[in-house]
Amino acid sequence: MRDWETGSGEDGRAYLGGYLRSSMLSVPQRLSGLAQLIEHIAEGCAELGEHVARCAEQGTHAAGGNINSSGDRVCELDRVADELLVERLAASGSCAGVVSEERALPEVLPAAAAPYLVAMDPLDGSSNLGCSIPVGTIFSVRARGEGDPADPESYLTPGTAQVAAGYVIYGAPLELVVTTGSDVHVFFLDARRRWRLRRDHVVVPPQGKIYSVNEANVSRWEPELRQWLESCKEAGYTQRYVGSMVADVHRTLLKGGVFLYPADRSAPEGKLRLLYEAAPMAMLFEAAGGFASDGARRLLEVEAASIHQRTPVVLGGRVEVMGVERALRSSGSWHVVAATRRGRLPCIFEVGGRRVDGHLELSPGGRQHRFSSS
Ligand code: AHG
């Protein structure tokens, strides 16, 4: 064990390794390698932070010609982030396989019988590189169980199955925000590149004063959701939005209010990804006493039908998240006909006051559904 893995620094702030082992993880979690896994992700992100800084200094952030599995234009740093973090996950020996935004299929790691599977967005918000807006890495950890790490189905359990989730924000300083379910811990990277505890017991206030959304999309929203936004303005809310999920979510987690990326007429499934953006953030918000919804349901209970599935996202305080759900419920757009089997049923649904032909897809057992327009 390295010296900085135990104890605290001279200012009494605990180091990540020691804190994981002494306070944050239960004995079975420590024994099963969750501490090693989180530390390796954190070390990888510390290294990635240097690439992000170098890239900003040298102005080498421009997007290249490649398109990733999500249809986004990939810049060199997206590729570096993905490779570096996959390497660190492999070195942890605790991770059997990884789903990455940058890869169409799961990557099987050398320890294919290891206890955990990871889903990650290695560099979220990379279209903001080059203008000093913080970008981030988002990760979600699930127990592998008997799942085959090569099989996408093994990663499709609902967010409630996550055993840890977090993100790193490449600001000044770098911060790691992580939960294993019952508390949210914030670490910062000190000048000697060691992760130190900044705070725990993060609590999302039940009601805040800030809404964070891309308001350019408002004309494509449900009228009821537009009305909800107007009521926020009348109630004295202010808006903050930089278009980098980790930055917008970090502020919402710490200061309260609401972050949302709802479905709209041109994107009936929203924009953000369920497995490696929405579900880990939902776990953090619930662990901090906040709420997380897809506009109709608890986000953590939504089952993915595919590894790169998109979902609408609403994260924040109880009052705001319930306000959005109430608005969407009254719009009726999420009203679903009863169905009890897995399959793809033709249906008509309503988005932004417009009727759209599409399909309703049911997961095994018919407990979850998702729409796709035809
Ligand atoms: P990218 O990684 O391509 O920059 O996408 C960023 C994501 C997410 O971080 C952010 O919340 C959202 O896209 C912003 O989307 P809009 O530009 O549509 O608001």
Give the model's confidence band at 344: pLDDT under 50 very low, under 70 low, under 90 confident, else very high: low
Separation of 269 CA from ligand 1 center, angstroms?
A: 15
Mean pLDDT is lowest, of 1-15, 98-112, 170-184, for 1-15
**Distance of alpha carbon 133 from alpha carbon 191, whole angstroms:** 21
Cα torsion 228, 207, 316, 188 to 10°: value is 150
Q: Which atom of ligand 1 is nearest to the CA of 135?
A: 9
Q: What pLDDT was estimated at residue 64?
A: 58
Give the model's confidence band at 374: pLDDT under 50 very low, under 70 low, under 90 confident, else very high: low
Kindly report the number of other CB atoms within 10 A of residue 355's CB atom: 9
**Distance of alpha carbon 189 from alpha carbon 174, whole angstroms:** 5
Query: Is the pLDDT at 29 greater than 50, yes or no?
Result: yes
Identify the helix (H) or strand (E) that includes residue 176.
Answer: strand 175-179
By the 10 Å C-beta count (0-12 exposed, 13-18 middle, 19+ buried), 46 is classed as middle
Token duo for residue 179:
């939960």
Query: Is the pLDDT at 352 greater than 70, yes or no?
Result: no
Domains of the chain in start order, with CATH, are: 3-199 (3.30.540.10), 210-337 (3.40.190.80)
Q: Taking residues 335-361, report their average pLDDT.
A: 50
Q: What pLDDT was estimated at residue 367?
A: 39
Ligand 1: which of 69, 77, 124 to mutate, judged by most atoms within 8 Å of the beta carbon?
Answer: 124
Q: Which atom of ligand 1 is nearest to the CA of 124?
A: 2
Token duo for residue 313:
């996202």
Separation of 127 CA from ligand 1 center, angstroms?
A: 7
Task: Give the relative orientation of helices 245-255 and 279-287 as an angle to the nearest 10 degrees.
Answer: 10
Separation of 360 CA from ligand 1 center, angstroms?
A: 26
Task: Give the relative orientation of helices 34-58 and 76-92 as an angle to the nearest 10 degrees.
Answer: 160
Dihedral sign from CA coordinates of 222, 225, 226, 227:
positive
Token duo for residue 261:
């990326």
